Chains A and B, each alone.
Chain A
Amino acid sequence: MQIIQPHYHGIARTAQDYERMAMSGVVAVAEPAFWAGFDRLYPETFIDYFRQISEFEPTRAAQYGIRHFCWVAVNPKEAENPELSQAVLQRMPEFFDKPNVLGVGETGLHKSTRSECEIMQAQIELALEYDQLILIHTPHLGDKLHGTKRVLEILKGLPVNPDRVWIDHVEEHTLRMIKDAGYWLGFTLYPVTKCSPKRAVDMLERYGFERTLVNSSADWGPSDPFTLQECVLEFRRRGHSIQEGIEVFYNNPARFLGQNPKFDLLPIRLEAIQEEQPATAGR
């Protein structure tokens, strides 16, 4: 089955990931800009990082027949340094013209501090000014409920179109408030600690497939890109059809990301072909 991996941190992974993803149906990945595991000191370091994900990483993915797209942003952790963040924000628009950059992400909140909220708002305003898609990170673990409510409060005060906003790392206790507000939402699967493939399928069954993206993040921490394929398998084992799987794991990301015309993979439908049988010669 063809799959789009909509949240994948390729720079933290080996080429073997691309190879195995290609062998298991992944045809495109989208790589948000994220925290490197330490706080960077210089805006130029971000610029090189943005060059890496917008220029170099697509060449790695292409060796395995995988299309590579990306997002640029200052992540919530480094938003704690407002001077650095503002300097990076000034340079971000030049990347919006790159052929694989889809929008601003992942911005969002980590501890929901004042600085994080201000930098997130500034990035959303930048995205609106340049007509970019928006990808928002919500905190993990105990901070998630409060942080998600803050994200929604901030969005409510801005002239955003919910169709063009994806709020990620959603779990059972934050799902309804996001869905009710009309935004796209994402389940991010991890081997431990966060959302599991089975719980993601539970939520798909319970709340429907609409405006929902499933991804496995896959970063430098304990993570596994193939939790996405585990989720596909769990989904199929519960009796959902291949076309339904395509809807969730391919068409939904194609619909959301395709709002930026650079993402040119269109939704697909599985169809049997009625072929004429060749005439058999009489014997």
Chain B
Amino acid sequence: MLNPQQVVDRYFLESRCQLLEIAATLDRYDLASRENGTAGADDPRWERLYQSLEILADRGATPDRAERLLKLFSDPAL
């Protein structure tokens, strides 16, 4: 297992890139809404994206973020 500094050194640029992809996607959505109206604004999938970002932004979160996101993106039991 890596130490914390190694994790930062190895994954910072990649994480930065992935976050930029998300930022650009959110921008794309907002610009599309500006041009074409907000059809789909209540799509629960989009809401879940924002909820997932709240989980990621919580610095006090326990190290089970991937598991929590997967549960957030899981369909409710039938």
Contacts and interface: CB of A to CB of B under 8 A. Distances in A.
Contacts of A143: 74-75
Given A112-B78, A172-B64, A145 B2 contact: no
Interface string A212-228: 00000000000000000
Interface residues of B, number: 14
A142 B66 contact: no
Contact of A239 (B2, B71, B76): B2
Contacts, number: 38
Interface in B40-78: 64, 66-67, 70-71, 73-78
A128 B57 CA distance: 48
Which applies to chain B's interface (DSSP): helix, strand, loop or mixed?
Answer: loop
Contacts of A112: 78
B74 A173 contact: yes
B2 to A, nearest CB: 5
Interface in A196-213: 199, 202, 205
Contacts of A202: 66
Q: Give the contact-size bracket for chain A.
A: 10 to 19
Contacts of A173: 67, 70-71, 74
A141 interface: yes
Contacts of B39: none
B1 interface: yes
A238 B1 CA distance: 6
Nearest to B76: A146
A239 B1 contact: yes
Contacts of B64: 172
B71 A199 contact: no
A142 B78 contact: no
B75 A142 contact: yes
B70 A172 contact: yes
Nearest to A240: B1
Given A205-B1, A238-B1, A172 B74 contact: no
Interface of A: 112, 141-146, 149, 171-173, 199, 202, 205, 237-239
Given A142-B73, A144-B74, 13 more contacts: A141-B73, A142-B74, A143-B75, A145-B71, A145-B77, A146-B74, A146-B75, A172-B67, A173-B71, A173-B74, A199-B66, A238-B1, A238-B2
Interface of B: 1-2, 10, 64, 66-67, 70-71, 73-78
